[in-house]
Amino acid sequence: MKILHWIDDYLEMAIGICLILTISVVLSIQVFMRYVVHESLSWSEELSRYMFIWLIYLGISYGAKVMRHIKIDAGLYMFPKRTRPYIVICGDLIFLIFSIVVVIYSLKLVNRQIKLEQVSPAIGIPMYLVYLAPAVGFFLTSIREVQTIIYRIKKLKSPCGTNEIGQE
C-alpha cells in the first residue's frame, strides 16, 4: 500500500524531475561538445525533443492531479454562486471525456506506428515509443480527473464544501 500511495502522490513529479534533469544534462553535453570540442552529437537534440514530449504529456496529468489547469474564472463567475461547484464538476467531466478520447485515438496511432516499424533517424528507437506519450499522459490524466471529480463531489456534500469548490 505504501507503493500505491507513493505512486499516487509522486509518480508524475518523479518522472518529470528525471526527464528535466536528463534533458539538462544531455543538452549541456551537446553545448560542451559543440562549442568546446567543436564536434556535434547527432542524437542529443532528438533525445531531448522526445523526452520533452513525454514531459509535456505527464505535465498535463500532474496539472490535473493538483487541479491547476487553465480555466476561465470570469466565465465561472457569470453563474450564481450556488451553481459554480456544479459547473466546475461539469468542466471536469468534459475534460475526462476529452482525455479518454485522446487515449483511444492515441492508441490507434501507436498501433499504426507499430505496424509501420518506423524508427527515429538519429537514435533508432521505435517511433511508437514517442507516439505513446499522449496515450500514457492522458490515461494518467483520466485517472486524475476521476480522482478530482470524486474529491469535488465529496467536498460538495460536506456542509462547508460549496464555498471553495469553484475556486480551486
pLDDT digits (tens, 9 = 90+) for 123-167: 999 999 999 999 999 999 999 999 999 999 999 888 765 554 445
Query: From CA 29, how far away is CA 128, in angstroms rounded?
Result: 27
Q: What is the pLDDT of residues 36-68, one digit of tens each?
A: 999 999 999 999 999 999 999 999 999 999 988
Q: What is the pLDDT of residues 16-42, one digit of tens each?
A: 999 999 999 999 999 999 999 999 999
| pLDDT value, residue 161 | 52
Query: From CA 121, how far away is CA 127, in angstroms rounded?
Result: 10
| pLDDT value, residue 90 | 94
Cβ-count burial 104-140 (b if 16+ within 10 Å, e if not): eebeeebeebeeeeeebeeeeebbbebbbbbbbbbbb
Query: From CA 160, how far away is CA 168, in angstroms rounded?
Result: 14
Q: Which residues contact 153 (CB under 8 A, 6 or more apart)?
A: 89
Rounded to 5 degrees, φ, ψ at 68 are -125, 25
Query: From CA 92, how far away is CA 98, in angstroms rounded?
Result: 10
